[in-house]
A and B are shown apart, each in its own frame.
Chain A
Amino acid sequence: MALTDFTFFRQLDRLRLRIRTARGHRPGETLIPRATQAWGVEFESYKEYVPGDDFRYVDWNAVGRLDQLVVRTFTAEREIPVHIFLDTSASMGAPVVDQKFVFATDLVSALGYVVLNNNDPLHLVALAAPKPGQAPFRPAPLLRHRSQFARLPGFLHTLTPGGKTYLRETVRAYIEQTREPGVATVVSDFLVEPAQYEGALTLLQARGYEVRAVHIIGAAELAPERLFRRGKLYDVEEQKERWVSLNRSHLQQYQEALQTHLDALQQFCHRHQILYSRVTTDTPLAQIMTEQFTRAGLLAFR
């Protein structure tokens, strides 16, 4: 995503995060549905006056009608910490034609812009394979305001895909160091056994995060016949080889296995009330942000 693409940024300016269950303690600009406060912009409800309430918010019309002192309450506006987990395993870099990792960093940049545009703090975390003596993740510096957005691409450019995927272990390691939950968005290709992603997402939910899963899938993964007809397949994470000759029945078997995996992930998210969105690399980013994510409930228009 080019930082000079002002048209795209103008589209992003119209978007905000859609919060469902996440709560924040600091006052902010994000509206928290079903949460009230004594002041604000957006009227939420009434409540019976109790001593100490601000007299300025007494609704005198209602007092006239009901003969009872009632004060207006407003939708709470809080600062919601947003945690974006970016999968940087080797599978995000293959196949090369899909440019999955580049696509993922662009997507994270766009999401980060929306978050910072609402003046919510952004915690970007690159999930990497655990190494002895090193943290299994690499956090970006905490960003709090849209003016700090320019630092985000700098961090993303330092990342390269490599190593195996350890979603559960890396997520666990991160949340053990973080005390303030918020919105957790996992951006990954989820090319792991179900136990791995289920463990990671469940763990986040259990710690009070409002969890979202953004599933990136490459165009060549959906249609591998574009990639080859016959050849030696090489798993970039497991470093194993397999000779495959791609005829119609083999292709069908592959697509069935893929669909089973996709369905399992989607159903898991649905069961656990995790917002799930599947994006393919051949879809324009603007379309994903303005249409796909808003439809899936990840984002909303202002």
Chain B
Amino acid sequence: MGILNPAALPLLTLLGILVLIYLRERWRQRIEVPSLLFWHAVPEDKARIRRFLPDLLFFAQALLLLLLIGGLLRPYRSQTVTETHGNRHILVIDASASMQAREGRSSRFDLALDEAKQVMQSLGPLDESMVISISTRPQIVSGLTSDHLLVLHLLEMLQPVDTSTNLDLGVELALAQRGRDGRRGQVHVFTDLPRSTLSLPQEQVQELVYHRVGKNDDNVALAAFHLYQNPFQTYSQAQAYMLVRNYASRPKKGTLTLQLDNKSVFQKEFTLAAREAASFSMKGFEHAGKLTAKIEPSDALALDNQALSWLAERSLRRLVVVSPVKTLHEELTRVSESIPGLAITAITPEEFFSTRLNPQDVALFHQFVPSATVAVNSLYVFPPPNNPLFPVIAEAADLSILDWRQEHDLLRNLRYVEALPLKKARVLALPPWAQVLISSRTKTSEVPLALTGEKDGHRVVCLAFDLNKGNLTNSDNLTLLLLFLNTLRWLLPPDPAIPQLVSTGEAFFLPPGTAPDSLRLRPPRGEEQTLETDTVEVDQIGEYRLDGSRYRTILYANLFDEAESDIARREEGATKVAPVTKLPTAPQELTRRVPREFGRPLYYGAALVLLLEWLYAMWRYSRMRTA
């Protein structure tokens, strides 16, 4: 016994209210008599009247109320039921890039689908099945169903994608689905990965029915394609690096071609020994444009034979320095002399309010924080007390750096972060939108020395320490210079005209404020479609085009994944194959306790009481009339 809706329990106080109503009515109600002449002979009985003496009508109303509240409480009693079920079969199908490798005349994915269909055809009518496709993320293709024809149809519709795989996640999801409701079942895994790659507990791995497909190892891949060109370099200074790797167990030949706007600018034939790699580089490009690297070997997987990049033109960037100190301007001017493409505009805080900023600018505020939000990416150095952005708690001196986030782009190539000069610093309260990049520590709390974050759609960096004269140009403070340059690079907004590089399997997020409905997405393969969310799931290699009235961009999606390219997938370590459990065929009988609600009969009871009350009232009325 129990109740499903305890929220209705407070309604029981209505019974108390009913009693109060009765007492009040009795106190208020008076019976008109022609005279008290004869009633003086009867002793007055105030005390007895004041007592709560319920009558039949009160009991009927209280019962009615109790029945209604009882119905609302949704009471239930547990009942044991026995149900006959078929077995569950969860089919996990690897749809990653390596499954597109050719095996004879068909692909590994087709072989996996054929085996999955055979499993489906062997199921009994009561059996339930579910299909999970796994690539970077698992996707439930069909929920648990006994409609085998529907599942077969969905299997036919399934397509592989150009991403890596996360088989563990898919198998964990399948195991969780299998054990739901205490049912028996089996998880079938269709993949080209060896069983040993699963990092699940051994007993769980042994429970799997493993269908491994593919034996071919014949693959040569473009393992990396890097274009080194920072924002201040022009295309002629850029350098392209290509790494070609042979994953086959025999030597392979091929040709590497580099095209700039579909015109070949570099071509080289190569011969690679078994499981060997070779790198190639090129520089001295004559113009900006789309770079396509291609290898043309005769192998089983074509996906990893091509990669895209973009060779950009150098655009002039402006750093607006707002500082009350002239020495910083002079120092930055000296730094900018060695950075072609960077212009410095130095102004005082008073002049800042009349200066117009372009979206491509970067602002540097030294000992000054404007009261209004700045619509460009900004670097704040040594913010003054009582500023609106970074509340200053205290002044500090001679702090030592104790912690920093090594993986952040701002600290790239910085080996001696603790060498930053920290003579004067301010202890800042961490704003909710910011994260600590470099920190020190007092006895009681962490002291942030550098903060990064994104506010109102713009990147913000704040250095809590001051820059002294010669800090940036002194060769002793190389760490600070590198940090400054890294910060500048991180703050420079990307040129919207330049395509963005993404890896397959990643999600591309639209900038804040961009309405997805107005955007048309044209993927590398497939038809153009309207974007429904603010995210683009990149699962194909090639060029994605996003076109809208206010926002447009191009994405270059590449696949550089050794795990996918190495299609040989040798079993490592213990190669002992666990015995495959046979398919359970007999239907299983499950006993479980289910709650049986009996709130509805209470409502019927309430209606009956109401009817009886009405009949009683009618009877009393007619009796009074007769009297």
**Interface pair B41/A233, CB less than 8 Å apart:** no
Chain B, residue nearest A238 (CB): B36
In the assembled complex, the Cα of A282 lies from the Cα of B624 at a distance in Å of 12
Say whether B42 faces chain A, with CB atoms less than 8 Å apart. Answer: yes
Say whether B265 faces chain A, with CB atoms less than 8 Å apart. Answer: no
**Interface pair B39/A189, CB less than 8 Å apart:** no
**Interface pair A233/B36, CB less than 8 Å apart:** yes
In the assembled complex, the Cα of A288 lies from the Cα of B26 at a distance in Å of 38
- B36 / chain A contacts, CB cutoff of 8 Å: 233, 235, 238, 240, 242
**Interface pair B49/A232, CB less than 8 Å apart:** yes
**Interface pair B34/A243, CB less than 8 Å apart:** no
- B46 / chain A contacts, CB cutoff of 8 Å: 243
Residues in A234-293 with C-beta less than 8 Å from chain B: 234-238, 240-246, 250, 253-254, 256-258, 261, 282
On whether A254 and B32 interact (CB within 8 A), knowing A97-B627, A230-B53, the answer reads no
**Interface pair A191/B49, CB less than 8 Å apart:** no
In the assembled complex, the Cα of A152 lies from the Cα of B9 at a distance in Å of 65
**Interface pair B31/A228, CB less than 8 Å apart:** yes
**Interface pair B29/A244, CB less than 8 Å apart:** no
In the assembled complex, the Cα of A232 lies from the Cα of B48 at a distance in Å of 12
Say whether A70 faces chain B, with CB atoms less than 8 Å apart. Answer: no
**Interface pair A94/B41, CB less than 8 Å apart:** no
Closest 10 pairs (CB-CB, A-B): A91-B34, A257-B38, A257-B41, A245-B45, A191-B35, A234-B30, A235-B36, A232-B30, A94-B32, A243-B46
On whether A233 and B627 interact (CB within 8 A), knowing A243-B46, A243-B49, A257-B38, the answer reads no
Say whether B181 faces chain A, with CB atoms less than 8 Å apart. Answer: no
- B29 / chain A contacts, CB cutoff of 8 Å: 231-232
Say whether A302 faces chain B, with CB atoms less than 8 Å apart. Answer: no
- Stretch in A4-12, A131-139, A219-227 with 4+ CB within 8 Å of B: A219-227
B interface, CB within 8 angstroms of A: 26-27, 29-46, 48-49, 53, 624, 627
**Interface pair A232/B31, CB less than 8 Å apart:** yes
**Interface pair A261/B37, CB less than 8 Å apart:** yes
**Cross-chain contact of B39 among A92, A94, A95, A244 (Cβ < 8 A):** A244
**Interface pair A230/B48, CB less than 8 Å apart:** yes
In the assembled complex, the Cα of A282 lies from the Cα of B36 at a distance in Å of 22
- B42 / chain A contacts, CB cutoff of 8 Å: 244, 246, 250, 253-254
**Interface pair B34/A233, CB less than 8 Å apart:** no
**Interface pair B32/A243, CB less than 8 Å apart:** no
**Interface pair B35/A238, CB less than 8 Å apart:** yes
Chain A, residue nearest B626 (CB): A282
Say whether A142 faces chain B, with CB atoms less than 8 Å apart. Answer: no
- B30 / chain A contacts, CB cutoff of 8 Å: 231-234, 241
**Interface pair A191/B34, CB less than 8 Å apart:** yes
B27 to chain A, nearest CB (A): 8
Chain A, residue nearest B38 (CB): A257
A interface, CB within 8 angstroms of B: 90-92, 94-97, 100, 189, 191, 193, 218-221, 224, 226-228, 230-238, 240-246, 250, 253-254, 256-258, 261, 282
A122 to chain B, nearest CB (A): 27
- B26 / chain A contacts, CB cutoff of 8 Å: 230-231
B55 to chain A, nearest CB (A): 8
**Cross-chain contact of B49 among A96, A189, A231, A256 (Cβ < 8 A):** A231
A191, A242, A258: most-surrounded residue (chain B CB, <10 A): A242
**Interface pair A233/B49, CB less than 8 Å apart:** no
Q: List 21 A-B contacts (CB under 8 A).
A: A90-B34, A95-B31, A96-B32, A191-B34, A193-B37, A219-B627, A220-B627, A231-B26, A233-B33, A233-B39, A234-B31, A235-B34, A243-B45, A244-B45, A245-B48, A253-B41, A254-B39, A254-B41, A254-B42, A257-B41, A282-B627
In the assembled complex, the Cα of A185 lies from the Cα of B39 at a distance in Å of 28
A121 to chain B, nearest CB (A): 32
Chain A, residue nearest B37 (CB): A191
**Interface pair A231/B31, CB less than 8 Å apart:** yes
- B38 / chain A contacts, CB cutoff of 8 Å: 254, 257-258, 261
**Interface pair B49/A245, CB less than 8 Å apart:** yes
In the assembled complex, the Cα of A254 lies from the Cα of B36 at a distance in Å of 10
- B40 / chain A contacts, CB cutoff of 8 Å: 242, 257
- A257 / chain B contacts, CB cutoff of 8 Å: 37-41
**Interface pair B49/A94, CB less than 8 Å apart:** no
- A231 / chain B contacts, CB cutoff of 8 Å: 26, 29-31, 49
On whether A94 and B627 interact (CB within 8 A), knowing A233-B39, A254-B39, the answer reads no
**Interface pair B34/A226, CB less than 8 Å apart:** no
**Interface pair A237/B39, CB less than 8 Å apart:** no
**Interface pair A236/B41, CB less than 8 Å apart:** no
- B43 / chain A contacts, CB cutoff of 8 Å: 250
- A254 / chain B contacts, CB cutoff of 8 Å: 38-39, 41-42
In the assembled complex, the Cα of A78 lies from the Cα of B465 at a distance in Å of 134
In the assembled complex, the Cα of A220 lies from the Cα of B38 at a distance in Å of 13
In the assembled complex, the Cα of A232 lies from the Cα of B53 at a distance in Å of 14
In the assembled complex, the Cα of A28 lies from the Cα of B43 at a distance in Å of 56
- A250 / chain B contacts, CB cutoff of 8 Å: 42-43
In the assembled complex, the Cα of A236 lies from the Cα of B624 at a distance in Å of 21
**Interface pair B48/A234, CB less than 8 Å apart:** no
B223 to chain A, nearest CB (A): 99
- B41 / chain A contacts, CB cutoff of 8 Å: 253-254, 256-257
In the assembled complex, the Cα of A221 lies from the Cα of B33 at a distance in Å of 8
In the assembled complex, the Cα of A97 lies from the Cα of B31 at a distance in Å of 11
On whether A227 and B44 interact (CB within 8 A), knowing A97-B624, A261-B37, the answer reads no
- A97 / chain B contacts, CB cutoff of 8 Å: 624, 627
